[in-house]
């Protein structure tokens, strides 16, 4: 009988040890694009914006999107050299019955379309394993091409280039890329583990995002991350010559799926809320935005 009890306890102990080992299994999540491969990424943002200035309400809807190709040219110490090419960039804005549309697909030379010069334009960046952007190059040449598409008057090219550089500077591009792809933990993680990433972006208004990622599931080579974060926009910026001041806060939440082998973002779906006060030309503005940000990635080799 004593021998029988010992065998039972040994079996129970082995089972418990197995469960402990299973629970402690960790996974390495990182940018690991293979050299020589190419990927397409489509990033879109659908927004509903409500503003109130005094008794006047302004309702606005926007659809903004950019399609990129990533060409992985070199790799060293986990970092990757990537040639980024714009396939398409567009914005559609509807407010008070008026619609404004800009697209890089519109190549009509009679229009001063800043996006027309981006179709096929490229720049270069070095990406670290955690998704941070180490450096960006080639932006100045890209801006030359954009300005040249907007006018044939050489005396105006510098003026247009200076205006474009406020939205497409090296720092702006770096922040834009990090806001989408700087998502990986600094060390291996187990199911249920969380890590925090702080990113900044200033395309129109300055926004700082502090995001907590949690490893929700690993299945069939795909890691699913739960996303929950806070947004803060506090500072000064300029839109079409108008100086603005912002004091906004908000949240982002959703899920992101990444390929375990390459770290490529397969899809991401985040709900964004941003609300608070803005000020322009001495007027206070009540601001509220709800949006959905999506990323879809695929290998094109």
pLDDT of 123: 94
Contact 105, 90 (CB under 8 A): yes
pLDDT at 216 over 90: yes
Average pLDDT, the chain: 87
CA distance 49 to 28: 39
Average pLDDT (24-45) is 95
Residue 82 lies in a domain: yes
For residue 176, is it within any domain? yes
Q: Domain of 73?
A: 31-299
Taking residues 76-95, report their average pLDDT.
Answer: 94
Q: What is the DSSP string of 226-288?
A: EEEEEEEEEEEEEETTEEEEEEEEEEEEEEEEEETTT--EEEEEEEEEEEEEEEETTEEEEEE
CB 168 within 8 A of CB 139: yes
Query: What is the 3 state secondary structure string of 64-127?
Result: EEEEEEEEEEEEECCEEEEEEEEEEEEEEEEECCEEEEEECCCCCCCCCCCCHHHCCCEEEEEE
Count of domains for the chain: 1
Instruction: Please indicate, yes or no, if residue 2 is contained in any of the structural domains.
Output: no
Which range among 12-26, 95-109, 113-127 shows the weakest confidence by mean pLDDT? 12-26
What percentage of the chain carries pLDDT values higher than 70? Answer: 90
Report the C-alpha gap between 161 and 82 in whole angstroms.
24
- Contact assessment for residue 204 and residue 168, using Cβ atoms and an 8 Å cutoff: no
Position 145 pLDDT exceeds 90 = no
Asked if the model's pLDDT at residue 104 lies above 90, the reply is no
Distances (CA, A) of 179 to 9, 216, 295: 52, 21, 11
10, pLDDT greater than 90: no
Residue 50 lies in a domain: yes
Pairwise CA distance, residues 243 & 282, whole Å: 10
Q: Is residue 289 part of a domain?
A: yes
Q: Return the higher-pLDDT residue of 111 and 269.
A: 269
Are 70 and 38 in contact by the 8 Å Cβ rule? The answer is: yes
Does residue 114 have a pLDDT over 90? no
Euclidean distance between CA atoms 207 and 175, whole angstroms: 10
Q: How confident is the model at residue 281 (pLDDT cuts 50, 70, 90)?
A: confident
pLDDT-wise least confident of 74-78, 152-156, 209-213: 152-156
Distance CA 32, CA 248 (A): 35
pLDDT at residue 81 in the model: 97
Task: Evaluate whether residue 6 is within a structural domain.
Answer: no
CATH number of the domain within which 276 lies: 2.30.230
Which residues, listed in sequence order, are joined to residue 27 by a DSSP beta bridge?
189
Within a domain: 179:
yes
Q: CB-based contacts of 61: which residues, under 8 Å, 6+ apart? A: 46, 47, 48, 49, 93, 94, 95
Task: Kindly state whether residue 22 falls inside one of the protein's structural domains.
Answer: no
């Amino acid at each position: 009988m004593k021998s029988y009890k010992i065998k039972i306890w040994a079996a129970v102990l082995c089972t418990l040890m197995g469960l402990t080992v299973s629970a402690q299994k960790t996974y390495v999540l990182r940018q690991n694009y293979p050299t020589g491969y190419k990927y397409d990424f489509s990033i879109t943002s659908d927004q509903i914006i409500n503003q109130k200035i005094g008794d006047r309400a302004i309702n606005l809807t926007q659809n903004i999107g950019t399609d990129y190709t990533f060409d992985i040219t070199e790799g060293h110490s986990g970092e990757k050299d990537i040639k980024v090419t714009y396939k398409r960039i567009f914005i559609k804005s509807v407010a008070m019955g008026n619609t404004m549309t800009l697209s890089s697909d519109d190549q009509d030379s009679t229009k001063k379309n800043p996006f027309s010069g981006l179709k096929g334009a490229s720049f270069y960046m070095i990406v670290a394993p955690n998704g941070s952007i180490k450096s960006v190059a080639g932006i100045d040449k890209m801006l030359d091409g954009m300005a040249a598409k907007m006018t044939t008057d050489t005396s105006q090219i510098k003026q247009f280039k200076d205006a474009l550089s406020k939205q497409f500077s090296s720092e702006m591009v770096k922040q834009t890329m990090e806001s989408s792809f700087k998502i990986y933990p600094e060390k291996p993680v187990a199911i249920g583990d969380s890590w925090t990433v702080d990113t900044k972006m200033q395309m129109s208004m300055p926004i700082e995002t502090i995001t907590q990622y949690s490893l929700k599931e690993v299945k069939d080579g795909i890691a699913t991350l739960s996303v929950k974060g806070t947004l803060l926009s506090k500072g000064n910026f300029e839109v079409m010559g108008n100086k603005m001041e912002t004091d906004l806060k908000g949240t982002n939440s959703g899920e992101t799926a990444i390929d375990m082998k390459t770290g490529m973002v397969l899809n991401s779906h985040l709900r964004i809320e941003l609300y608070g006060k803005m000020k322009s030309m001495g007027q206070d503005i009540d601001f509220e935005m709800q949006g959905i940000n999506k990323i879809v990635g695929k290998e094109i080799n």
